[in-house]
Amino acid sequence: MSLAITFIFCVILARLLYVQVAWGAELKLKAVDQWNREIPVIAARGRILDRNGKVIAGNINTYSVFLRPSAVDNVDRTTEIIGELFNVDRNYLSEKINAGKISEITVARQQNKETVEKLVKFNLPGVYYARDNMRNYAYGDALCQVIGFTASDGTGVSGIEKFYDGLLGGTNGEITYSTDIVGIQTEKSKIVYQEAVAGCDIKLTIDMDIQLAAENAMKSVYNSSSAKSVSCIVLDPQNFDVLAMVNYPSYNLNEVPRNDSELLNSLSRNGLVSNIYEPGSTFKVITAAANIQEHIDGNPNAFSNSYVFNGSRSRTVDGTKIKCWSDHSNGKHSNQTLADALNNSCNPCFSDIALALGGKTFYEYLYKFGFGNVTGLDFNGEALGMLVPSTAIRDCDLARIGFGQTVAVTGIQLACAVAAAVNGGNYYAPRLLKSVSSPNGGNVEENAVIFKNKAIGTKASEILAEMLEGVVKDGSGKHAYIDGYRVGGKTGTAQKYEDGRVAQGKYVSSFVGFFPANKPQYLALVIVDEPQGTYYGSAVAAPVAKEIFEDIILLKNIKRFV
């Protein structure tokens, strides 16, 4: 008998110790929750600005409405009023209140001041509100895939809103005061206010004037060419600041199609960062850069543009026939210099260069120009591109990579590579964030430009830029020519593949250009996916780049160079 009593006593003692020690913290929180009421104070989300201080994403003051079931004195009256004001199902709300399992119910978020003022007049016990914020995007659909959007609770879901959510989000505060057992504020309640800390403002490298000019140009070519999609990136070649980034079709950030996830995923994807494509002849810029550098290594004055390539229309490599787009009937493709080959965009010449360089050397240049790796852009979801492993490369693969086939790139990869090829050979990490400001604006922290490597030498870069200026003056890029301004560039027209085969009638038309050619300040890559009718990059994409450059000239009041 005494043994049984001792055993029962030990069980009770163990249970008491468990409740006090193991459950202690949890039970204390439950007690505090029963006798205290918290009203959240939502932190203002930081603004997103362009490089010149124009607000891209800001806030509109709104309100969230909450309900504490234990403090409601008249369920029918409360649900009727709330249901009418906030379009909430009365039966659903009644079930939540009567279930007694939830200490607090979020009735509605991001409500306007007028509606909340109507609610206050009813003085409903157990119902309270707190200020929150609703994101407002000043430019609607412009830059939408880059900026991204937020969830209903204000957290970033995509784009810059997600990538820099830790900076933008801030820290919520709360107002706490004691209540009785049913949640009614006591007469001598002590109110504790914990202030919310607003998020930081961030300034992007984007120039909204250039962005809007690029948006207009891309929408125009999208409509005129009936393309599947169009995209454009404008860089500062001297430090790889992203000045504009356009993907179209787009969507309005103030009217996000949240109910159609498939459509939203499609429209919100930043294709210039996340999609890969075969670049075609725009890639010849990189092959030419490697060729020039190899000829002048050790002697800056050794390069000569007088050497010539075999002028025949085709080459056969490992049983694969490589042809030029031209039939050479005009005689212009015979005995070509490198400048001629760029002007004429002759595929066999660039196959010759790639084969002459050899896999090891050519790949060393490709890696220096950022291919086979991400650029390091401060943005989620950047693709690697596609590069045949150097250990598995065949001569026929190498020959095709030389003129932009058997290789896939992202738009940001190609833009950065060409920028490095013409800016003196300097490869930087591209960036979207320029600086961060504290909530009160008192402390500004600059985001440093990151130099990654030297891709080619200064002399080689100058020679290449001059040749690409010739492409716009006299070659396939003449539709990008602007009288009085030194514009350089290269066109591209690539066939698309589906299920491993050439998709008939489907092309990617592109142009990458820069100005002034002797010291590039602006670089634009234009990509038109599946244009209908005319599909050559020279006819479809080059005029768009010209339009963007002409707008920049007007916006920045750039004087004629020659």
- H-assigned helices in 439-515: 458-474
Find the angle CA(349)-CA(354)-CA(360) to the nearest 5 degrees: 170
- H-assigned helices in 131-275: 144-147, 159-163, 165-168, 208-225, 261-268, 271-274
Residue 485 φ/ψ, nearest 5 degrees? -130, 140
Q: At 432, list the tokens.
A: 């979207």
CB 505 within 8 A of CB 539: no
Tens of pLDDT, residues 521-532: 999 999 999 999
Q: How far apart are CA 498 and CA 506, in angstroms?
A: 10
CB 78 within 8 A of CB 72: yes
Specify the pLDDT at position 298. 54
Name the β-bridge partners of 488.
Answer: 514
- H-assigned helices in 369-410: 395-401
Q: How far apart are CA 503 and CA 510, in angstroms?
A: 18
Give how far Cα 152 sits from Cα of 62, 134, 254, Å: 12, 8, 12
Specify the pLDDT at position 193. 63
Specify the pLDDT at position 434. 97
CB 344 within 8 A of CB 333: yes
For residue 539, give the amino acid letter. A
Give how far Cα 54 sits from Cα of 206, 213, 277, 328, 436, Å: 10, 15, 33, 52, 14
Q: Which of 215, 78, 163 is nearest to 524 (CA)?
A: 215
Residue 379 φ/ψ, nearest 5 degrees? -160, 140
- Which residue segments constitute the domains of the chain, with CATH numbers given? 208-434+449-555 (3.40.710.10)
Q: Which of 490, 338, 479, 358 is nearest to 414 (CA)?
A: 490
For residue 445, the 8-state DSSP code is E
How do strand 48-49 and strand 201-204 relate by DSSP bridges?
parallel
Tens of pLDDT, residues 203-240: 999 999 999 999 999 999 999 999 999 999 999 999 99
Specify the pLDDT at position 31. 46
Residue appearing with tokens 């609607």? 140
pLDDT in tens, the chain (562 residues): 666 666 676 666 666 665 565 555 554 444 445 445 566 777 889 999 999 999 999 998 888 888 888 788 888 898 888 888 888 888 888 888 887 667 778 888 888 889 988 888 988 888 888 777 889 999 999 999 999 999 988 899 999 999 999 999 988 877 676 655 444 545 555 667 677 788 999 999 999 999 999 999 999 999 999 999 999 999 999 999 999 999 999 999 999 999 998 999 999 999 999 999 999 999 999 999 999 999 887 555 555 565 667 667 778 887 888 877 776 666 666 778 899 999 989 898 899 999 999 999 999 999 999 999 999 999 999 999 999 998 999 999 999 999 999 999 999 999 999 999 999 999 999 999 999 998 876 778 999 999 999 999 999 999 999 999 999 999 999 999 999 999 999 999 998 888 778 888 899 999 999 999 999 999 999 999 999 999 999 999 999 999 999 999 999 999 987 5
CB-based burial of residue 533 (10 Å sphere; 0-12 exposed, 13-18 middle, 19+ buried)? exposed
CB 324 within 8 A of CB 352: no
Specify the pLDDT at position 79. 86
Q: Which of 280, 302, 314 is nearest to 509 (CA)?
A: 280
Specify the pLDDT at position 458. 96
Return the number of other C-beta atoms located less than 10 Å from residue 113's C-beta: 11
Name the β-bridge partners of 242.
Answer: 235
Q: At 37, list the tokens.
A: 């009421």
Q: How far apart are CA 432 and CA 168, in angstroms?
A: 15
Residue appearing with tokens 């607090």? 104
Task: Catalogue the active-site residues.
Answer: 281
Specify the pLDDT at position 528. 98
Tens of pLDDT, residues 396-442: 999 999 999 999 999 999 999 999 999 999 999 999 999 999 887 67
HSE (side-chain half, CA atoms, 13 Å) at 184: 7
Give how far Cα 419 sits from Cα of 180, 195, 369, 370, Å: 68, 47, 10, 11
CB 530 within 8 A of CB 508: yes
Return the number of other C-beta atoms located less than 10 Å from residue 493's C-beta: 25
